[in-house]
Amino acid sequence: MNEENGEILGGTPVEESSKKIYITKDYSIFKKLTGNRSTELERITKICDSIREVGYITSPILVNENMEVIDGQGRLEAFKELGIPVEYIIQEGTGIKECISMNVYQTNWSAIDYIKSYKDLNYKSYVLYYKLIEKYKNLNLTTIYTALTGYGRPELKPIREGNLNFTDEQYEEAIKRLDYLEKFIPYFSKVNGKVGQLQRAILICYPLEGVDKERMFEKIINNVRTMTPWITVAGAIQSIEEAYNRNIRNHIYIFTEYRKSVDKRAGKGFYEATTNAQRKMAYDRLNSYNEQQGE
């Protein structure tokens, strides 16, 4: 850092305050922070259009002592495009943690932005998750999450805080489940319910005790137009059970096995309850848990 003659890394201070604002047209001094999300061309274009329409309103970008951009990456790219001088503030000691936390209560970052960020920082679970996202481009984040965990849907809070936790075994099992699910893709356009819920229902049914995977595939694709409509994952599982058991004598109670797996996971004791009152309380708690998991 060179403060001689009022210059800092090519920038000139324009305001004296507790945090000096510097200005420069030397765009080369700024660096992309490892783990920060990519700046989409559409976003840069919108910023450029706004500046052209209403002019530039002072809003300095924030950098650390290494000139890595903590906040304002999109603005920086727009300034480069328009040839506008960059105003910036140096906040020493800041990094990716501060970069992410500044976006926790904003809508700017999506789930995929956080996943990419932690992947770039080599968080193992995020690396595994992103590998699957890249491999199965026809499937969304929620479906892939269900393949990894066997249940539920991802919540943004643990994703953005870096708290996802997947093992190599879960990753390998997810590949098997997603390869299986991809066989259904040509038939999803024919279903009578929500496709996302059916995808997750198939993934949840895949490991259940007594379920023949090839039979489930054949029964679903052969009855896809006549399956009972659903609006939830639980409803889709019931529809799968109905299709699975058509024209066979010994029925497999898929929905019951699903309920047992959820009950065991949630620790609510529905099937271990010994009185009707206990069962009702457990059932209410179980339904509440299912609603939170989007099932």
Mean predicted confidence (pLDDT) in 271-292: 55
Q: Any idea which of 25-29, 255-259, 262-266 has the lowest mean pLDDT?
A: 262-266
* pLDDT greater than 90 at residue 89: no
* Rounded Cα distance, 276 and 9, in Å: 74
pLDDT above 50: residue 156 = yes
As to burial, measured by CB atoms within 10 angstroms (0-12 exposed, 13-18 middle, 19+ buried), residue 295 is: buried
Given a cut of 50, whether residue 2 has pLDDT beyond it is: no
Residue 265: per-residue pLDDT: 65
User: pTM for the whole thing?
Assistant: 0.63
Query: Please, are residues 227 and 243 in contact by the beta-carbon 8 Å criterion?
Result: yes
Whole-number pLDDT of residue 277: 62
Question: What percentage of the chain carries pLDDT values higher than 70?
Answer: 77
Is the per-residue pLDDT at 54 higher than 90? no
Contacts of 70 (CB under 8 A, 6+ apart): 33, 62, 63, 64, 91, 94, 95, 98, 99, 102
Give the pLDDT mean for 76-100.
Answer: 86
Q: Which residue has the higher pLDDT, 101 or 8?
A: 101
**CA separation, residue 85 to residues 10, 27, 79, 280 (Å):** 11, 9, 7, 66
| CA distances in angstroms from 192 to 129, 202, 234, listed in the order given | 30, 15, 15
For the chain, which domains are there? 4-101 (3.90.1530), 111-264 (no CATH)
Mean pLDDT of the chain: 81
